[in-house]
Amino acid sequence: MEHVFSEQILSVEGLDVQIGSSFILKNFDFQIHKKEIHALVGESGSGKSTFANVVLGLLNEEALISWNKFKIFSQEIQAADFSLWKDWRGKRISLIPQTSAIGLHPFLSIRSQVLEYFHLVQPRLANDETGIRLLEEFGLSDPKAAWNSKPHQLSGGERQRILVLLSVYSGADLILADEPSSALDPDTGRSILKLLQKRVRDLDAGLLFISHDLSSAMEFADTITVMKSGQKLETIKKEKGTWNPNSEYSRKLFTLDQNPA
C-alpha cells in the first residue's frame, strides 16, 4: 500500500560539505515528510553518515558546509549555524544507533535508564507501569524481568528493541536509524524494522533509514535515495509495490539485490 504524504519535516537543496579540498557531499538534495520512511542507500563512503550528522547538527568542526535551502520543522535555516540543534537533538530529532553498546549504559538497570530518559523528554511516560507496558508492546517476552535487568542480562534483539522504543516514544518528529538491525540475526532484525515502521506511521514521525542492506530498504521504505561519491543519483518512490530505478548504477544495485549470487 502506497502512502500519500503532506506535511514536510525536512527539505534540503544544494547541500555541500567539504573537508580540505575534498567534497564529502556535493549539491545534495533531500526531503522527508511525516509518516514517511525514506532510506538512504549507497556504498561505504557515499556520504550517508555525513548527511545524518548534518541532520543531527553534529558535523565535524573541520567541515565547510553550505546550502541553497535548508528548512526543518517549518523553519528556514539561513546559514550553517547548528546552535538551534541543541534544543532539537534528542527531542525533535532522535537517533537509533547501530548497536545497544552505544545507546545503553552497561551498569545501570533498564528501569533506571528508561525512567531517566523519559523524565527528560516525555515526563508523562516516566513511571514503572508505562515502562513495563511499553516493553511488552515492543515484544520483550518477560517485560517485568527485563525492566529490572541490566543490559547484559538481555539478548541483543531485546536491547535493540529498547533503543527503538526510546527513540519512537521520545516525541521526535524525525527519527534517524543508522543500520538499526545490522548487529542482529535476520529474523530479529526484520521484526524490529516492522515494529519501527508501524510505530513511525502511528506517531506521525518521519524515519530517515540509513542502510547498506538494500533488501531491507526495498521492503520497508516508501522512498529510496541512492547515493554515490557524495552525490544523489536519484530518488525513487515505491509505486504499486515495485521500485523502478532510472540510473544505470541504481538498476545494477536493485538487480543484484533481487538476484543475489
| pLDDT attached to residue 178 | 85
Give dist(CA 34, CA 205) in Å, integer. 5
Res 23 pLDDT > 60? yes
Residue 74 lies in domain: 8-258
Please report, for residues 25, 50, 51, 69, 237, the alpha-carbon distance to residue 230 in angstroms, rounded to integers and kept in the order given.
4, 9, 9, 18, 21
CATH (domain of 174): 3.40.50.300
Q: Does 120 reside within a domain?
A: yes
* Residue 256 predicted with pLDDT over 80: no
Distance CA 134, CA 229 (A): 40
SS3 (DSSP) at 253: helix
Supply the pTM of this predicted model: 0.89
Beta bridge partners of 175: 94, 207
pLDDT at 261 over 50: no
pLDDT grade for 176, boundaries at 50, 70 and 90:
very high
Report pLDDT digits (tens) over 150-174: 999 999 889 989 998 999 899 999 9
Q: How many residues does the chain have?
A: 261
How many domains does the chain fold into? Answer: 1
In degrees and rounded to multiples of 5, residue 39 shows phi and psi of -95, 140
What is the Rg, in whole angstroms, of the alpha carbon atoms belonging to the chain? 19
Output the pLDDT for position 8: 94
Can you give the pLDDT at residue 259? 52
Residue 180 placed within a domain: yes
How far apart are alpha carbons 18 and 124 in whole angstroms?
42
Does residue 216 contact residue 179 with C-beta atoms inside 8 Å?
no
Q: Give the pLDDT band (50/70/90) at residue 210.
A: very high
Q: How far apart are CA 260 and CA 111, in angstroms?
A: 43
Work out the pLDDT band at 258, boundaries 50, 70, 90. low
Q: Is the dihedral of CA 76, 8, 174, 218 positive or negative?
A: negative
Residue 1 lies in a domain: no
**All residues at 6 or more sequence positions from 21 whose CB lies less than 8 Å from its CB, including other chains:** none
Between CA 237 and CA 32, with CA 207 as vertex, the angle to 5 degrees is 55
Q: Tell which residue, 167, 110, 96, 170, has the closest CA to residue 140.
A: 110
> Does residue 194 register a pLDDT over 60?
yes
* Rounded percentage of the chain residues whose pLDDT exceeds 70: 96
